[in-house]
Structure 1
C-alpha cells in the first residue's frame, strides 16, 4: 500500500509539472497553435530572437487577414521587429470566420488582445477599448479618404490602417476590350454593357456573377449600391437614415434593380446554388465579366489563367447627375487595447508596421491601397488605384446607417428576392420592420 501511495504521489507531481508547462502555451483551437521552430513566419508565433535570458514580454495580435501570403508578410515584419526588440515576443492569431464572435466575447469580458484588427468598426464598435494613436509618428500621414474613418470628432486616432478598402466593380478587362466596351460611369451604361456582352457572346458570358450560397455577394451588391442611391447624391437620405426617419418605400427601386439583373439574364442562372468558390474558375474561363466588390479572387484566377487581365473600376452612379464612387474604409488595421498590460510595446509594434518599407510590403501582398500617404506599391492593381485616386470614397452603408444585424437581413432577403419568395415591395417592408426592431434593441 505504501508503494502504491508513493507511486500515486509521483504521478500527481508529474501531472502538475506537465500542466504548468502547458499553461505557458497559447490557447488552442483552429489556427491558433504556436510553432516553436526558429524559422521566420512559421506558425502563428513569430519567434523572438534570444535575449540572453530573462522573461520576454509577449504581445498577442489578432488579425482578420485570411490569405496565407498576407499572414506570412505580417509575421515577417514582426520578426524584423523582434530582432530590434529581443525582449518582446509577438504572437499572431488568425481566427478566420470566428473573428467577430471571438472579439465580441473578449469585449464583454474586457480582455482584449494587445493589438487587434478593427475590421471596419474602429470607432463605432471598438472605440472605447482602443488607445489614442494620434501622437504616433505616422498619424499625420493618413490618407484623406481613411482619416475620417478612424479619427473621431475629438481627433482621437483609433487604428493604423494597413490596407484601405476601395470596393467598386471588378471586371474582366479582356472581355471589355473584345466587345469594345468603355468603363461605364452610370448604372444604365452598365446595363447596356451587360446586354451587349450577353447578346454578342450568344449567352456564353454571364455579365454578373453572384452566389446565393455565399449570400454576402448579394448583400454586397445592395450595400454598395445603397450608398450610390441614398448617400452619394447631393440630395440624399443620409440624415433621415441616421435619425431613423428614412422612408423605406425608397428601398423598393433598389430591390427591383437587383431583380432586373436576374430577369434580364445578366446574372448566372444558378445564382441560388452557385458558390463563391465557383467564381475563379468561371472568371478564368472568360465566362464572367463583372463582379461587385474588390478583386480578392485574382490570385485564384491567375493560377488557372496567368495572363488574364483583371481591372477595377468605381461603382457606377445610380442617380442622374451623380458621379461614380468607391465604397471603402478599413480593410486590415492594427489598434492597441488601451487597458493592455504592455501598451507602450503595443504602440511600438504598430509604429514599426507603419514604417514605409513595411507598409509597402503589405500593400504589395494584399494588392490594396495603404492607409498612409506616399507609400510606394507596385502590383497589378496599382495603376487602377492611381487612375481613380480622386474618386470619392464612402463608408460601407450598413456600418454607418443600419443597426447591427441588418447586414444579415439584406443578404438573406436579397437571396429570397432572387428566389421569387419575396417581391421588391415586401423586401422594403422587411427592411423597415427589422430596422425598427434592431435599432430599438
Structure 2
C-alpha cells in the first residue's frame, strides 16, 4: 500500500453531480437521491483528468493501439498494491469485465455446461452465463452470522454433478466479502479435481480496505494459477465505467494459450479513453487519490452503521471489507420482497433491488455510499421516516 497521508476524499457538490449525464444522475428525477448503481460522486484522480484532457485537446480519439501501456501499468499496480507478480505478456484487454467473462466462458465451456455462482451476487452474472451458452447453477454464500463464506461443500457437489466452471466474485458484490487465501486455494483444488475452471471477477480489488488483506485468485496457489482466469478493470475504483476498458489475466501456459486464442475483435473493443485512463489510474501518481478514497469509504461505512442504528434499528448490516456497496437486510420492516420499490415511492431514494441478486436478496437492498456524508445522512433519514407509516 502507498504511504500517502490519510486524508479523506471529498465528493463533488450536488449541483455539480446533477450536471452529469451518467445512469446514476439521469435515471430518476431530481427529487430522488440516487444510490443504486455503482458510480461514485468523487472528482476524478488528477492524473486521469490530465491524460483525458490532453487527449481531447489534440483530437486523440481514434482506435486503441495494440499496446497502450495497460499491461505494464496493471502489473506494476498489482505488485505495488497486492504483492502480486504478473507477467504482462499474460494480459489482454477488452471493453468491460462482463464482456471478458462471456468470452472466457465461451472459450472454456461447452453449450449447456453448468456454471456455479454464489448468490446473492452481481445480477449480470446470471445474464452473461446464458449469453456464453452456459446454465446457471446457484450455490449460495454461507452466512455465519458474522461473515459470508463460500460454500465449498456445495460447490464440490455441483462440480461432482457436472458443473464445469465457477464464476467467482472476489471481492464479492454485494456483500463486500474478501475471500480468504485458504478458501480460494480450496476452491482451486476442487476445480482442478473435477476438470473445471474458475473465472474471477476482481473489479473491486483496488477498494479492499487497508489491513484486511486481499488475495487475487490466481495468486492463491499454484493450482489456482493453473485453473483460473481473472478479469478486472479500473472502472469501479476510479469511476471509469463509461470509458470501456477491462483486463483479462492468466498465470499459466495453458490458460494463456486460451486467452491468446480469443478473437482479435475481443481486444479491439477496448476504448481508447478507457485505456488511457486505466494507465493513469494504475500509475503510482494516482495512489494518493485511491488511498484518500479508501479513507472516505471507511468513514462512510461506519457512518452508515450509525445512521441505520438511529433511523432503522431493525436493519441488518455489516460494514463491507471492500468497496462502497452496502448489503442491507430490511425484511424486519415488512416492506415486501423488494423494499427498494417502497423506499423509492415513499422516501424518494433509489436503491438497488435486492431480489435481482438472487432469491437470497428478498427483503434486502444494496446502497451505494460512495458519496458525501451529508447525502448519505439525508438518504437514510428519508428512509427512516417511512418506519411506522
TM over 0.5: no
Tell which structure's C-alpha radius of gyration is larger.
1
Q: What TM-score do you get using the length of structure 2 for normalisation?
A: 0.30
Q: What TM-score do you get using the length of structure 1 for normalisation?
A: 0.27
